[in-house]
Structures are given as C-alpha cells and as structure tokens.
C-alpha cells in the first residue's frame, strides 16, 4: 500500500535544532561516476543507457531509490506518498519486456516522481491539502498516460505548496519541504518536493507544474534543470488547477538531456483539454543538439535585472560571459511589458475550482493558502461596487488581452532569438521566514523575487539551469527563454551552457544523521 507520509512528517517536525554550521554546511560534492552501489546518482540518460544495454534492471534502479528514500525523505520531506509495491511491480513487468527485447522508449524502466496535484488512478492525489487527504482519482492525468505508455515507473507523489498556491513549499498539510542544500531553507515552490527529490537522488526525474514559476523557481533554488514548455504543448487535463489560463506542466531533471528525454514523452494533442495545441511531433533530444553559434542572445535588463541579490547578479553576469563565447551575438533588449494585463482578474478561475471546497472545508485549508485566496478575492471585490458583474467583465477582457499577447509575442523576437536572465532575484529564505510571511495576517507589500511569471502570461518556453552558488552554498539559477514553440533552441543553448560549466555536477552532501530543524510558528 502507498506510504502515508503525514504521520511521519508530523513526528519529525519536533526534531531538535539544526546542528550543521550555516546554510552551506552541507556544501556540495562533485558527482562521481556511479557504480553498482551508487545507482541513485545516475542521470536519467545514464540510467536509460544502462537499461538498454542490459547492464542494470528497472527493479534494481527502483529498489536503490526506494532504499535511499527511506533514509533521506525524512530529512527533506520530498514525498507525500511512496509507491513501494506498485513501483517494484511495474518495474518487474518492464524488465520482462526488456528481457524479450521490447523497449518502449528511452524512459523504459526509469523511476520518476509526480507532483501531488497530478492525478493518478487509484492512487491518492492530495495537492498537499487536508481538503484532499482522502482523494483517490479514477483516472490518470493525460501526461501520466503518456509517461506510463513510454515505460516510466511511478515511484510516488511529491510534496508541494498546498494547491500550488505559493512559492515556498512550506505551507503544506504534510510539513514543509526542505532544501537539500540547507535543511532550514526553502526549496521554493510550488513544485518543491519534485526538485528536492531530484537533487537528493531520490528520483531520476520529476513532473512539476508552473503557473507563475513553480517549475523554474525550485529548479533554481535546488540546482537542477526545470523546463516550462509552451502553453498547451503538454496537456494539463487531470491536473488540479490553480489558474488554468496560466498553468503548465514540465519536466524537472538533473541535466538538460534528461529534460529533453522526458519532454519527448509528455507532449501530444489532447482534444479534451481546451488549452492543448496540435503541433508537429519533434524529437527534443535531436533538437537539443543543434549548433548555437548562430544564435543572437537578448539581455532584457529592465526590469528583470533590477533589485538583484549581489551574488545572484555576479553569477548571472559570469554565465553571460560564458554564453557570449559560444553564440553569434549578445545585445541588450526589451520584452513587452505585462502591466496592461490584470492577472488578478484570472483569480476567477481559481474561485471556480475552490468556491464549493472553501464553503465546505474552509478550516481544512492551511492558514497561508486560505489567506492568499481570501486576499485575492477581496482585492477583486474592492475594484468596483458591483463585484459580480465587474469581475465577469474584467475576466473576459483579460482573456482577450491574454490571447492577443500570446498571438503577437513572437514579434518581439526580431533582433534576437533567445533571452537570458536570472531565474530568481534573491537567495532562498528560511522555512520559518517563509511561513511567517505566508501566515502574517496583515497584508504585505507585493514582492518581485522571481522573473518567471511573464513567461507564463506569454505562454513561452523557459528553462532554468544551475549557474552558480552563493558564498554560503545556496544555488543560483539562470533562465533561458524563447519564442512560442522554440523548445529546441532553448534546450540547445541550455545544453551548450551546461557542457561548458560544472554547476550541474554538484550535489548536496546528505547524511543519515542530519537533524531536521524545527518549525517555529507564532502562537
């Protein structure tokens, strides 16, 4: 039976204070070639090659990860549900196919984890909320159907920010997700568990969802690769929505090649998903190999380079210098603003999903998420004296603006092919600081700590790749984005940068005796 993580997490939450020295105390280790006893450290591509060469079985890979999960998940709290028996059974069936010479795809026998807002038939899908503590969907999400058909093994469901309604992964019914580089810090969110699982070598790849940066932000803070594809390229049917018009689903992996391998088996037209787009099939692994020497890079300084942490700015500028040597040109550029688009008006999509749930289960939402929902609704009601009719008008006009922006955004990429910018503007906060901010009753001034949301509004492909570390050992990410359906170019530049640097080879040093710091909340 799937393992219920909630009881264990709650038991662990009262652990003694963190004993390591500073946020970077776990420092990092260079990834070494994996032997028979170090299977979890393989990349997805390496694991795939070994399976296809009959050097390792899916059962061996799955068991190695399950063993590691049992040791380190209590530290990082990346999983809500672990599918021990189911994963091993699925792996055994795929090994039988491989033994007879049948391989479904490059993902055949590869264990991955799914964010827990992605439906899985007969397997609990909670969206990290008490509201859905006993929710068992009847069907797999469309993207899960694709991955299973490709032979991926589902290890379990990843912890996340409740209902994907925040960027810390601290507000969750199952206890905060910890950043493996520093357990007292957040991994960002909302796909924090997916990112923590990948960088901790608890899975070879993961699925995350991204409404305002929730794949790329935790990828940046955990030093992995996170790709948000073009809006509609990957079906979002069967995924618990946050804001449907901005929701995306993308792969989270150790390397760019791994992300391309996963994306190959995630895309596909879904006539039952109103967001889905029908495009010609593309091999993203092959597209990733295209030369980058002819690419023209744009650097959108304003507003994306404003108010950067000093160490973030230094790391990103160093990354630009690396890229400058491998592309045709680099120039400062400007992207269209999104200030004329009222994203707040789309909260009606959130209300449409949650209105009945909130009425029946108000006290089962976490404090931070409940306040976030109520605050957004109040702001919309304050806009006019006739909240219902005005909200409808605002929603419709915002949809028109959204459609027009997405139809015309490729026109911005006339003098440059791709843009490069920091993924996050600041370094990770502590878990306690994040919770204090999210549970603060008094409204706070809006903050811009990431550069991700405009690319959700435009619906453009964007990837975050590791580009450095702070002096205290906290990861820094670089974002590369391009026009609609330019995944191949985005992946190619990301892969070229990855090949020219070593940031992606570093791993946090986790030990079984690491002490989980306590969660401190105001009484």
Strands 462-469 and 29-30: unpaired
Burial 131-166 (b: 16+ CB within 10 A, else e): bbeeeebeebbbbbbbbbebbbbbbbbbbbbbbbbb
83 closest CA partner among 6, 155, 9, 174: 155
Tell me which of 58, 129, 190, 287 is the catalytic residue.
190
CA–CA dist 234, 115 (Å, integer): 15
Tell me whether residue 407 is one of the annotated catalytic residues: no
172 closest CA partner among 159, 156, 187, 184: 159
CA–CA dist 373, 368 (Å, integer): 9
CA gyration radius for the chain?
21
CA–CA dist 79, 54 (Å, integer): 29
Tell me which of 214, 220, 287, 470 is the catalytic residue.
214
Burial group, residue 19, by CB count within 10 angstroms (0-12, 13-18, 19+): exposed
Query: What is the DSSP-derived secondary structure letter of residue 363?
Result: G
End-to-end CA distance of the chain: 37
CA–CA dist 146, 346 (Å, integer): 29
Q: Is 443 left (phi over 0), alpha (psi -120 to 50) or beta?
A: beta
Tell me whether residue 157 is one of the annotated catalytic residues: no
CA–CA dist 296, 145 (Å, integer): 38
Largest CA distance in the chain: 69
Tell me which of 48, 58, 115, 169 is the catalytic residue.
115
Q: Name the β-bridge partners of 79.
A: 158
Torsions phi, psi for 187 (to 5 deg): -95, 5
Return the residue matching tokens 């790709």. 227
Tell me whether residue 115 is one of the annotated catalytic residues: yes
Q: Which residues are catalytic?
A: 115, 190, 214
């Amino acid at each position: 039976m799937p393992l219920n993580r909630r009881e264990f997490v709650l038991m662990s939450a009262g652990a003694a204070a963190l004993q390591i020295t500073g946020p970077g105390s776990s420092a990092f280790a260079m990834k070494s070639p994996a032997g028979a006893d170090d299977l979890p450290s393989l990349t997805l591509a390496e694991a795939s090659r070994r399976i296809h060469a009959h050097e390792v079985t899916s059962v061996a890979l799955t068991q190695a990860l399950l063993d590691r999960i049992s040791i380190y998940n209590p530290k990082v709290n990346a999983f809500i549900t672990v599918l021990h028996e189911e994963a091993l059974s699925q792996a055994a069936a795929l090994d039988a196919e491989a033994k007879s010479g049948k391989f479904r795809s490059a993902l055949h026998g590869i264990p991955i984890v799914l964010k827990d807002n992605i439906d899985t038939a007969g397997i609990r899908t909670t969206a990290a909320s008490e509201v859905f503590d006993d929710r068992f969907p009847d069907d797999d999400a469309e993207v899960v159907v694709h991955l299973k058909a490709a032979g991926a093994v589902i290890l379990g469901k990843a912890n996340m920010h409740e209902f994907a309604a925040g960027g810390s992964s601290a507000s969750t019914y199952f206890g905060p997700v910890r950043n493996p580089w520093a357990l007292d810090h957040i991994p960002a969110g909302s796909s924090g568990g997916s990112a923590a699982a990948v960088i901790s070598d608890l899975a070879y790849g993961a699925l995350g969802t991204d409404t305002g940066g929730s794949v790329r932000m935790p990828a940046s803070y955990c030093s992995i690769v996170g790709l948000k594809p073009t809006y509609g390229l990957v079906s979002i049917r069967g995924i618990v929505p946050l804001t449907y018009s901005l929701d995306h689903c993308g792969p989270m992996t150790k390397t760019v090649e791994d992300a391309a391998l996963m994306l190959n088996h995630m895309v596909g037209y879904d006539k039952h998903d109103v967001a889905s787009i029908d495009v010609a099939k593309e091999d993203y692994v092959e597209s990733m190999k295209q030369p980058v020497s002819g690419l023209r890079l744009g650097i959108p300084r304003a507003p994306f380079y404003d108010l950067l942490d000093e160490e973030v700015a230094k790391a990103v500028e160093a990354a630009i210098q690396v890229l400058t040597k491998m592309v045709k040109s680099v120039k400062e550029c400007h992207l269209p603003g999104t200030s004329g688009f009222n994203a707040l008006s789309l909260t009606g999509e959130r209300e449409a999903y949650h209105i009945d749930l909130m009425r029946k289960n108000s006290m089962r939402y976490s404090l931070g998420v409940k306040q976030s929902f109520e605050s957004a609704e109040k702001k919309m009601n304050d806009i006019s004296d006739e909240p219902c009719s005005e909200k409808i008008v605002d929603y419709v006009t915002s949809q028109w603006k959204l459609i027009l922006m997405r139809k015309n955004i490729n026109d911005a990429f006339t003098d440059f092919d791709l843009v490069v910018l920091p993924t996050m503007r600041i370094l990770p906060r502590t878990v306690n600081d994040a919770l204090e901010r999210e549970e603060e009753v008094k409204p706070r001034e809006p903050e811009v700590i990431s550069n991700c949301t405009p690319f959700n509004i435009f619906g453009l492909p964007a990837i975050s790749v590791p580009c450095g570390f702070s002096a205290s050992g906290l990861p820094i990410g670089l974002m590369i984005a391009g026009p609609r359906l330019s995944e191949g170019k985005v992946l190619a530049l990301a892969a070229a940068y990855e090949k020219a640097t070593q940031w992606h080879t570093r791993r946090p040093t986790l030990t079984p005796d690491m002490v989980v710091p306590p969660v401190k909340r105001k009484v």
